Amino acid sequence: MDVLSSAVSALIGGWTLPAALAGVVWGILGGALPGLSPSVAMALLLPLTYGMDPTAALTMLAAVYVGAEYGGSIPAILIRTPGTNAAAATTIDGYELAKQGRAGEALGISLMAGFVGGLFGLILLTIATEPMAAVALAFTPPAYCALGILGLSVIASLSGKSLIKGLIAGILGLMIATVGTDPVSGVTRFTGGSPDLLGGVRPILVMVGLFAVTEMLTQISTPAWDKASHRDTRLKLPNFAMWKRLWPSQVIGCIIGTFEGLTPGGGGSIAAFLSYNEARRWSKKPEEFGKGSVEGVAAPECANNVVTATALIPMLSFGIPGSNSAAVLLGGFLLHGLIPGPMLFQKAPEVVYGLYGGLFAANILMVLVGIVILGPCLWLVNRPKPYLIAFILAIVVSGVYATHASLTDLWIVLAMGAFGYAMRWFGIPTLPMVLGAVLGFLVESSYRRSLVLSRGDHAIFIQDPVSLGLLLAALALTAYSVWAEFIKPARKLKNA
C-alpha cells in the first residue's frame, strides 16, 4: 500500500509527471537519432536535473531510457537504421514490413509491444526487486562468458541461406570487437596508433554503417529505385485478432527480457536477438520471419522494453549498473545524495516508489507521444526519394559525428557502409556481424578473466552452475537451429 500511495502522490503532486513527459519526448528523439545512444541522451540531461526534486529528476532520466529504447525502433522500421543497439533485431522484419507498405502496422506493433514489455518489467520491478536481485549476484565471469556465447549461438539462425557465410560474418564482427585496448593486459590492438580507437569500435557505428549507409547505397544503385512504391502513412495499432497472434511472442519477449535485464551486462541487444530467435522457433508461421513477420517485430521490442525496467533491479538493490544507461541513472542518484543499495529502500522509499510511479507514467506517455509523432514520421519517409536519401544521410552523418565530435567515427561508418554493400553483393548476412561486434568484447574479456581466476583451468566453465546452464542452452539452441535449417528441409525433400 505504501508503494502505491507514494507512487500516486508523486504523480499527482509536484513535477514528476511533466518530468516523465519531457524525458519520454527527449528519449524518443535521442533513440531515433542514429549514433546517439540512450545513455548519451540521458547524460545530456543529467546536468539539468541538478536543481530538481530527486523523484522528478530520476523519473526524467528513467523516462529518457524508456523513450530511447522505444525510439530506436522507429528508424529501424522506417529506414533500416537501428537508433539503438537493441533495435538491431527489429530491423529484420520491421523494415521488411515497411517495404511491403505496412510501416504503420509495424510501428503500431512495436509501440504496443514496447508498452506491454515496459509495464511487465515495471510490475516485476515493483513486486519482485528483492528476490530477483539475487540473480545478479549469481553472475560470475564464466557466466558472463556463457551468456555471450548463448547470444552468439543465434548466429546459426540468422545466417539465412548459407551457414558458412553467417559464420564468416560473425567472425568478422568478433574481429571488429578486438580493436582497441586489450581487456586484461591493457595493450593496444589494431588501433593503427589512433587514440580514437583505444576504446574500440562502438557497435552502434557498425550498425549505422551496415544498415543505414549500406541501405542508401543499395537504394541509389537500384535501377528503378526512384519508382519504388509509396507506403502507407497511417499508424495502425494492433486489433484484437493481431493481439491474439502476438501474445506468444510477447510472452517470450517478457521472459527473456526479464532474465537479460537482471544480468548486468546482458542488456537489450542479447534479449532482442534471443527473443527474435525464440519467437521464430515457437511461431505457427516461422516461414514469415525475415520476410516481414509481425511477431518478429513484437518479440524483440517487448524484450527491449522489459529490460528498461528489470535492468534497474540490480542497480537499485546493489548499486550495480548493468548497462551504460543504468550507470547514468546511478549518477543521477549520487547527484542527489542517494546511494543505491539495500539501504535505499529504508532511507528514501518515497523516491524509489515515486520513481516507480514515474516509470508507469512514462510507459503510458510513451504510447501517447508515439501515437502523436509516428504519423508525421510516416509522412516524412514518404517524401520523394532523392530528398529522403539526402536527409537520412544528413541525420546519419550528423548523429555519428555529434556523439564524440570524431571524424574517425564518421570514417568508420562510411567504411562499414561500403563493406556492407560488398557483403550484400557476396550474399553475406549482416546480422551475425552485428551480433559479433556487440558481444565480442563481453565474450573475450569474461573468458580471459575466468581463466585468470581458475589459473588456466577450463573446467571453471562447467563447474559454475549458471555458466553450465547457459552453455547447455547455447548448445541446444545451435543444435536446434542447424536441425531446423538443414536436416529438417533435407528430410522433407527426401520424403516428397
What's the min distance (Å) between Cβ of 200 and other proteins?
A: 13
What's the min distance (Å) between Cβ of 110 and other proteins?
A: 25
What's the min distance (Å) between Cβ of 341 and other proteins?
A: 32
Binding mask 169-208 for other proteins (x = CB under 8 A): --xx-xx--x---x-xxxx-xx------------------
Cell numbers representing residue 221 in the block: 544503385
Residue 216 binding other proteins, by CB under 8 A: yes
Number of residues that bind other proteins (CB under 8 A): 61
* Alpha-carbon span 343 to 334, nearest angstrom: 14
What's the min distance (Å) between Cβ of 299 and other proteins?
A: 27
Residue 136 binding other proteins, by CB under 8 A: no
- Which range touches other proteins (CB under 8 A), out of 129-137, 218-226, 250-258, 335-343? 218-226
Contacts 24+ apart (CB under 8 A), 237-244: 237/108, 237/111, 237/112, 237/371, 238/105, 238/108, 238/109, 238/112, 242/109, 242/294
From the list 263, 231, 237, the residue with the least C-alpha distance to 442 is: 263
From 65, 120, 273, 421, residue interacting with other proteins (rule: CB under 8 A): 421
Residue 152 binding other proteins, by CB under 8 A: no
Residue closer to other proteins, measured from CB, 241 or 493: 493
From the list 336, 232, 245, 237, the residue with the least C-alpha distance to 295 is: 245
- Which range touches other proteins (CB under 8 A), out of 230-238, 325-333, 370-378, 417-425? 417-425
8 Å CB contact between 214 and 266: no
Integer angstrom CA distances of residue 269 from 1, 30, 311: 35, 17, 13
Sequence-ordered list of residues with C-beta below 8 angstroms from that of 171, at least 6 positions apart, any chain: 436
Residue closer to other proteins, measured from CB, 318 or 411: 411
Can you say whether the dihedral through the CA atoms of 303, 111, 45, 339 is positive or negative? negative
Secondary structure (H, E, C), 37-87? CHHHHHHHHHHHHCCCCHHHHHHHHHHHHHHHHHHCHHHHHHHCCCCCHHH
Give residues 374-413 in contact with other proteins (rule: CB under 8 A): 384-387, 389-391, 393-395, 397-398, 401-402, 405, 407, 410-411
From 15, 128, 140, 165, residue interacting with other proteins (rule: CB under 8 A): 165
Using DSSP, how many helices (H) and how many strands (E) does the chain show?
25, 2
* Alpha-carbon span 197 to 179, nearest angstrom: 7
What's the min distance (Å) between Cβ of 104 and other proteins?
A: 25
From 125, 213, 274, 316, residue interacting with other proteins (rule: CB under 8 A): 213
Give residues 219-258 in contact with other proteins (rule: CB under 8 A): 220-223, 226
What's the min distance (Å) between Cβ of 443 and other proteins?
A: 9
8 Å CB contact between 268 and 39: no
* Alpha-carbon span 151 to 438, nearest angstrom: 10
Residue closer to other proteins, measured from CB, 322 or 417: 417
Interacting residues toward other proteins by CB under 8 A: 44, 161-162, 164-165, 167-168, 171-172, 174-175, 178, 182, 184-187, 189-190, 213, 216-218, 220-223, 226, 384-387, 389-391, 393-395, 397-398, 401-402, 405, 407, 410-411, 414, 417-418, 421, 424-428, 444, 447-448, 451-452, 456
